[in-house]
Amino acid sequence: MTIGARIAQYRKQAGLSQEALAEQLGVSRQSVSKWESGGVMPDLDKVLAMSALFGVSTDALLKETPAEAPEETPEESSEDLPEPPLAEETIEEVAEEIADKIAEEPLAAAAEPPEKSEGFPAPAPQAQTPAPGKGKRLRRVLAAVLAAALLIAAIAVPLYFGGVRETWWALNGGKVQYPYVLVSGMGGWGDGVGINATLPYWGAGTGSLAEYLTQEGYTVTEATVGPFSSAWDRACELYAQLTGATVDYGAAHAKAHNHARFGRTYTEARVPQWGEKINGGQRVKINLVGHSFGGATVRLLTALLANGDAAEQAATGKDTSPLFTGGKADWVHSVTALCAPHNGSSLTCILEEAGGLLTLDSATELLASVVYAVGGLAAPADETYDFMLDQFGITGPVSLQEAYDIVTSSGTDNVAYDLSPDGAAALNARIGTAKGIYYFSYAYTTTRKGALLGGQVPLTGTLPVLMPTAFAMGSYTGTTPGGIVIDESWQENDGLVSVVSAQYPTGDPHADLPEDASAFETGVWYVAPTRSGDHGTVIGLQAAAEPTHRFYDTLFEMIDGLRR
């Protein structure tokens, strides 16, 4: 157990939150979070204060026994670190070598006559024969003392910093804090869109989440990707923004879907040094957080980084974008999906069937209208909203209707297809999970079992605009054109996404979210207990600031504390 874990353990035993402990100690909540995650060590006065507060000795707070020290495994120590000191020689051997040098030097010096000083006669040389065994005894004493000192240092220093790797990090610039990247869903926007100044996507009425989390000490960026583009196009745009490059949609993909290969250029990387090794060999990784269709976007980006794409490699050879060459699974630390339609949304089936009756041009148009209504927007003004349709040759403002027509003209290369159960199944077939990456999923529900009509009916606290969609999804069953059966298990929903779809992608390894963070494994979706709320609750729509902030504080603290 590390020192940070001990602080967290005693804090919880004392019934204190991180905020409460921070207040008692006169520090920020983020300082407590960094102590517990192992990012920094508390000052001595804070250690003494916590010792008194928790009613334990400083030894109990700071020391760990050898039996408690976790063993390093290949998975636990993925960073390429140099060999620890004393890897080939024992402490005793090193101590004896040092002792020999120390013991020999004074004996040799004593055997040599002193130099003659100018003007004075040199004294008669004295015999300097050491007593039998004296040099050997001196060497043994020195060796024992040095061995004890080295042993204490070898144990105490890693204990102080929380482990061997933590010690190495502390000596080489500190533990790298992984940035968080927030990715919006269909129709969403990031900090590059004018509307974000008046209504932030992340935080909504509670205020900017990025600003709040930045004040809490985290590095956070809100990506801006195509609101109606496919998961593929959005993943390519996200990669270019994070690295500071020109968007490359891939030659094979662009040809198949009849749009340009290259998009706009980003001159500044949102995550400088992403993928590089710094501070003693630590890889700069990112934590991806996607809401709604942003979940599919971050999953596909992660899969492309890890596995690349054979079609793009065949089409462009040495000119292939680094995004499609693979081998970069260790660029991502975690993936978190919030209300994400991992298996698609049954609402697309409902809207497709209802589209003709409502004389709408497409189910996409109706679905997007619902999304904007959730955000409190009748329709975003062209001058404040960037539809990001560069790949289709559109670089200036367009109307909402024009944006719908452009993206749907590409066939299946759009958000509507990827959101359908059939489109989501096609995505799932190529994505999967990757070893070395942690996966978390959070589903919300705004319906309950109907007493009279059966199915699921919306709760009274549901956003008014989501009442009709929640009710429709709560009673729908059917079969998709691709043969996917939408049965009663799909009926519980958050107004836009079924709970069963938001939990984990079909076919991927998954488990319930454990209480013990040490039990987390990579490559497995950890499904949190279903939370109460609708599709907008998790991003702050018609939600209070305190529970919204508490959710992200808890989430980010958990991710920061994950084993590296």
pLDDT value, residue 481: 92
| Three-class SS of 28-47 | CHHHHHHHHHCCCCCCHHHH
3-state secondary structure of 479: strand
Task: Report in angstroms the alpha-carbon separations of 505 from 61, 96, 511, 536.
Answer: 42, 60, 12, 21
Is 382 an active-site residue? no
The residue that leads in pLDDT, 486 or 27, is 486
Within 281-357, residue ranges assigned H as helices are 293-307, 310-316, 346-355
117-166 confidence digits (pLDDT tens): 444 455 555 555 555 566 667 767 777 777 677 666 555 555 555 566 66
Catalytic hit among 535, 549, 553, 560: 535
Q: Which two tokens stand for residue 436?
A: 């070395």
Q: DSSP code of 483?
A: -
- Taking alpha carbons only, the member of 388, 205, 235 closest to residue 304 is 235
- 31, 37, 208, 292: which one is catalytic? 292
Kindly state the percentage of the chain with pLDDT values over 70: 76
Per the DSSP assignment, residues forming a β-bridge with 334 are: 287, 438
Q: Which CATH class is domain 3-62?
A: mainly alpha
Helix (H/G/I), strand (E/B), else coil: 443: coil
Q: Where are the beta strands (DSSP E) in 111-253?
A: 180-183, 220-222, 246-248
Give the model confidence (pLDDT) of 269-297 as tens digits. 999 999 999 988 889 999 999 999 999 99
Distance of alpha carbon 402 from alpha carbon 252, whole angstroms: 26
Both tokens of 148, joined, read 């004890």
Task: Decide: 330 and 341 in contact? Cβ < 8 Å.
Answer: no
Residue 80's pLDDT is 47
Q: By the 8 A CB rule, do 391 and 259 touch?
A: yes
pLDDT at 264 over 70: yes
Using CA atoms, how far apart are residues 346 and 365, in angstroms rounded to an integer?
Answer: 16
Would you state the pLDDT for residue 301? 98
Weakest mean pLDDT among 199-203, 227-231, 382-386, 494-498 = 382-386
Of these residues, 233, 309, 390, 494, which one is catalytic? 494
Residue 183 has pLDDT above 80, yes or no: yes
Topology of domain 180-345+418-445+499-560 in CATH is Rossmann fold (3.40.50)
| Beta carbons of 366 and 343 less than 8 angstroms apart | no
28 catalytic? Reply is no
Of 74 and 450, the structure prediction assigns the larger pLDDT to 450
Quote the CA–CA distance of 288 and 225 in Å, as a whole number.
14
Confidence of residue 58 (pLDDT cuts 50, 70, 90): confident
What pTM did the predictor assign? 0.73
Residue 535 annotated in active site = yes
Residue 249, amino acid: Y
End-to-end CA separation in angstroms for the chain: 15
Phi and psi at residue 171, in whole multiples of 5°?
Answer: -80, -10
